Structure 1
Amino acid sequence: MKILRELLIIFSICLVAQFISELLPIPFPASVLSLVILLLLLLSKMFKPHWIQNLSGFLLKNMAFFFIPAGVCIIEQYTALKGNILTLLLICLVTTFLTFTASAYAVIGTIKLMEKVRSRHNG
């Protein structure tokens, strides 16, 4: 039953994000809105992380599985992409570097923030 409740919570957030995405005057991915809504709920203290801990842990452990359909679609479109392969590889390399850099700074910032919060509670 716990997994069903966690699924209901996550799918409800996704449904709200989809609805908001449809109302926006510009195209905006509902998946990104879902993450923003979840972040806002977590920051507002109205939402407890342990409410979705089991399901989110499972999804994170099996994340690679969810990239298979995207990989298959890329392989299916090989003939269309063949002329632009160098451009695509360059884009992949640059965005990978940018993602790693942004993630590293996010982790560094989070660690510093957590240390600051701990020092306030302990001091």
Structure 2
Amino acid sequence: MKLLRQSCLILAICFIGEVLNKIFNLPIPGNVLGMIILLILLSTGVVKLEKIEEISNFLLEHLAFFFIPAGVGLISCFGLIKGNLIGIIFITLISTIIIMALTGLTVQLLKKR
């Protein structure tokens, strides 16, 4: 029952983000807006971490399952991307390296603070 309550809280915040996106026609996707709202609520203490900790850990442990639909979509559209495969792999590798470097630098800067 606790997991259901926690997931309902997260889904409600995500829903609020979607509604705000539709009402104000923002260029930010509704799910990202919901995550920003959740971050603000957690930072200000309106929502305590304990209220969503178990469901968050559960979702993080099973994160790989969320990538299955994207993988299936890539496989089903392989004929469309076959001609650009080398470019896609190159861009993926370069962007992964950049993201890893920036994440490492960000963590180092935050640790110094």
Q: Report the TM-score, using the length of structure 1 for normalisation.
A: 0.83
Gapped regions of structure 2 (runs ≥ 5): none
Identity %: 35
Residues 1:87 and 1:28: Cα distance change in structure 2 (over 3 Å): same
Residues 1:101 and 1:31: Cα distance change in structure 2 (over 3 Å): farther
Task: Give the structure with higher Rg (CA).
Answer: 1
Establish whether residue 82 from structure 1 lines up as the match of residue 87 from structure 2: no
Residues 1:47 and 1:110: Cα distance change in structure 2 (over 3 Å): farther
Gapped regions of structure 1 (runs ≥ 5): 114-123
Deviation at 1:89, TM superposition (A): 1.0
Partner of 1:31: 31
Partner of 1:42: 42
Q: Name the amino acid aligned to 2:110.
A: T
Q: Name the amino acid aligned to 1:46.
A: V
In structure 1, distance between residues paired with 2:50 and 2:26? 34
Match of 2:25, SS?
A: coil
Q: After TM superposition, which residue ranges in structure 1, 4 or more long, deviate above 3 angstroms? A: 24-27
- For these two proteins, the number of residue pairs brought into alignment is 113
**RMSD value, Cα:** 1.5
Deviation at 1:65, TM superposition (A): 1.3
Deviation at 1:20, TM superposition (A): 1.2
Q: Report the TM-score, using the length of structure 2 for normalisation.
A: 0.90
